[in-house]
Structure 1
């Protein structure tokens, strides 16, 4: 992969909350830095950089080398992020409803462009995951399990349908398809599905709220209701993918 396609994190804006990690019975807010994606395709890499900064920062050179070794392209799947965590020595667990590629995605506009070239590659990654030390489980995860994970100071990268995910704190929704070079015209149409990675970093049981870092921004922590979060992450196209990341190695 051309190194210029990878995120140059020295140019990204990194936002940190001034509060320390706060863990109480009903309220959890982890101090996970926000790193903005630079292109329309690199939200997963931006989320990976966020959790690495939170856990144990790796150098820019080490991160770029890992991405190059894994031969990342502009099509980054959740299984790719699991391999990245494994390569960087981060304890993880990738939970999904489908061990491989759902052939039904071939008909979705979001997947259609890369489906034929990606299907075999992604299926092979799943087949070789165990032998490569990548932990993958076929299961459905409840919001209570996510809360329990966060209570222990751990974080998670979650694949959501960005069309459905609505932040209660943002004035206007972001157009995820509009990360285009300056001067390039956008022909946006609202799709049924737009895959997008976010980092879940907190919750409030009393208000039934989930807090997450959205790589579309660099200056805020977003918030949505449990019900909206569940709708967005369980939408067809996500496979309910969630990559649990553990603070201890």
Structure 2
């Protein structure tokens, strides 16, 4: 029985997605893109995975803007919202970013600068739960960057992704896909690429804490399907 069965029949919206579990500790964002893609494009991505990674030049260091370029590559309409364009220098104080920030700064800055020319829409915005609900209701799923320290499924017994990290209580960036909601219980449904094939639930408030944590820039990709 999947962990969301308690609320499944009552869901206001529950978008059907084919789950994809990440294989390494760096590909959660790519796995979220896999879940978004239709079957044929997903298969192309899987078969050309190494080539696409090499062409994208992210070298196991995936930023949200990288996911946007991947979605654009596969002609998936989306809007990227964030409270900050580019790379924030103060993030070098976070151990999660320290090494990646130094080697990725120029590459990420260039991707942001060229986003409009490549047909990628970025809005500077901080979205609330109601705005997420309206997008899920009218358009499609949402890829969200969260701090894994604050991410937990209400119904998964004794599971927290941070138990699998060696250093706790430091920022741990992780991508998930929000795929539904149940307003009466103040719950979001989401797929976590760290997990096996199942749908998890968390409260509106808990997701807000996880996605607004310092280090996330409140990065969200609104997908239109």
TM-score (norm 2): 0.89
Deviates further, 110-119 or 52-61: 52-61
Selected match of 1:40 from 25, 28, 40: 25
1:112 and 1:145, CA in 2 relative to 1: closer, same or farther beyond 3 A? same
Alpha-carbon distance between aligned partners in 2 of 1:77 and 1:176, rounded to the nearest angstrom: 20
Residue in structure 2 matched with residue 87 of structure 1 by the alignment: 73
How many residue pairs get aligned? The number is 219
Structure 2 gaps of 5+ residues are none
Alpha-carbon distance between aligned partners in 2 of 1:54 and 1:192, rounded to the nearest angstrom: 36
Deviates further, 196-205 or 86-95: 86-95
Say whether 1:217 aligns with 2:195. Answer: yes
Q: Is the 8 A contact 1:41 1:74 kept in 2?
A: yes
Alpha-carbon distance between aligned partners in 2 of 1:171 and 1:74, rounded to the nearest angstrom: 31
Deviates further, 225-234 or 61-70: 61-70
Say whether 1:49 aligns with 2:34. Answer: yes
Residue in structure 2 matched with residue 154 of structure 1 by the alignment: 140
Cα deviation for residue 63 of structure 1 reads 5.3
Cα deviation for residue 218 of structure 1 reads 1.7
SS in structure 1 of the partner of residue 184 of structure 2: coil
Aligned ranges 1:94-133 → 2 under 5 Å: 94-133=80-119
Cα deviation for residue 72 of structure 1 reads 2.8
Residue in structure 1 matched with residue 214 of structure 2 by the alignment: 236
Structure 1 gaps of 5+ residues are 1-14, 179-185
1:225 and 1:108, CA in 2 relative to 1: closer, same or farther beyond 3 A? same
Cα deviation for residue 94 of structure 1 reads 0.5
Q: CA RMSD in A?
A: 2.4
Q: Quick check: which one's helix share is greater? A: 2
Cα deviation for residue 111 of structure 1 reads 0.5
